[in-house]
Structure 1
Amino acid sequence: MTVQPFSQSLMVLAAVMGLGGAIALPVQAEPQPQAPIQVAQAETPGTIVDVASGNEAFETLVAAVQAAGLVETLSGEGPFTVFAPTDEAFAELPDGVVDALLKPENRDLLTEILTYHVVPGEVMSSDLETGPVETLNGGLAVRVDPDKVVVNNGSVIMPDVPASNGVIHAINRVLIPAGVADELASRMQPEPIRGLW
């Protein structure tokens, strides 16, 4: 399956990601260190939402999935592949952005962002190829290097976390589809969010 370059990241995620037993994928060292993600061991993994909910690294993502009303969808049969932003990824967003996205009046934008992190079907890291990949809300750009996988401007920091209805790849950035950042900025006036994207 071919993967496409991710648009620039913004925030909240793409519903989903917790961790079960994952295969460590070599990742090139980043400028800022990332706290290790704790992986809960389970014989039979739950759904993508269950796995994400069971891991402290995805608390913001889970809150976003709930606010967007996507719990039922991401708990469905699938299968889905979710590039899941960690809490640290959300923390990289400008002040006020996450709070704004979680407001009921911005549910449409939150949904666009989250579905931008979800690919139909189960795509393991070994199946990823450099190129475009279609999500539920547009295309991402994927680059596969010998030592890492980059999606748009985010890196996969833990691949192949199993779920009963798909797989989760934890990433260190929130991916934002084209146009969403500008629309959110206009809604946040008169408090501009400069340097966001």
Structure 2
Amino acid sequence: MTYMLPLGILLAGALNVGVSTTARAQTVVDVLRQQADMGIFATLVERSGLAEQLSGSGPFSLYVPTDSDFGRLSFEMRSMLVAEANRDAVRRFVLSHVTMRARSLDYTSGYNEFVANSLAGNQIRFVREQAEGDGANGGSITANGIPVEGNIRATNGYIHRIGGFLAD
């Protein structure tokens, strides 16, 4: 008679040696890299040298234009963002889309309007547009007149899709 169960139990135990049960923390940079429609901005974060800073403790809120938004930029602006010599300009462009406080879109409930400073120093004016019949948490939010969508949570903040650019 052959006993397969003990060998199976031993193999199963051996396969679990060294496996951690905790998942790796997902920073705003990690989560940004996973978004299929934010690849250009993720590349700019890398090129600007800001990936390490934005992987820090934060908290950060990133207001990220989608890849399709970049297609609407002028040729001159697109050229500036891809030129190797323009790292400082790319850094400023990225930082103009980042605030130092983690804000979910729910944060604006109870406010019709508030202003935050980006890490580049420009002001971002957030306005809650309430549709008729919406309660305090209803309606849409804009940043400098640009629609803001969604709360994508990371361990050190939030990512929000925006329909344009906050750069000066």
TM-score normalised per structure 1: 0.63
Instruction: Report whether the alignment pairs 1:84 with 2:84.
Output: no
Does 1 or 2 have the higher relative contact order (CA < 8 Å, sep 6+)? 1
Alignment pair present for 1:132 and 2:112: no
Q: Residue 140 of structure 1 aligns to a residue in which SS?
A: strand
For residue 141 of structure 1, the aligned residue among 121, 125, 128 is 125
**Aligned to 1:57, what secondary structure does the other structure show?**
coil
One-letter amino acid of the counterpart of residue 124, structure 1: S
- Counting aligned pairs with the same residue, the percent is 27
Question: How many corresponding residue pairs?
Answer: 134
Aligned residue in 2 for 1:56:
36
Instruction: Specify which structure has the higher proportion of helix.
Output: 2
User: What per-residue deviation string (whole Å, max 9, x for no partner) do you get for residues 40-66 of structure 1?
Assistant: xxx876111111111110110011111
- In the other structure, the counterpart of 1:93 is 73
Q: Does the 8 Å contact 1:134/1:140 carry over to 2? A: yes
1:155 aligns with 2:142: no
Structure of larger gyration radius: 2
Residues 155 and 172, structure 1, Cα contact 8 Å, conserved in 2: yes
Q: Does 1:119 align with 2:99?
A: yes
- The alignment's TM-score, normalised by the length of structure 2, stands at 0.73
Q: Does 1:166 align with 2:157?
A: yes
Gaps of 5+ in 1: 1-42, 178-197
In structure 2, what is the Cα distance between the partners aligned to 1:153 and 1:114?
18
SS in 1 for 2:63: strand
Q: Which runs of 4+ in 1 moved over 4 A?
A: none
RMSD, matched Cα: 1.7
Unpaired runs of 5+ residues, structure 2, are 1-22, 131-138
Partner of 2:75, secondary structure, is coil
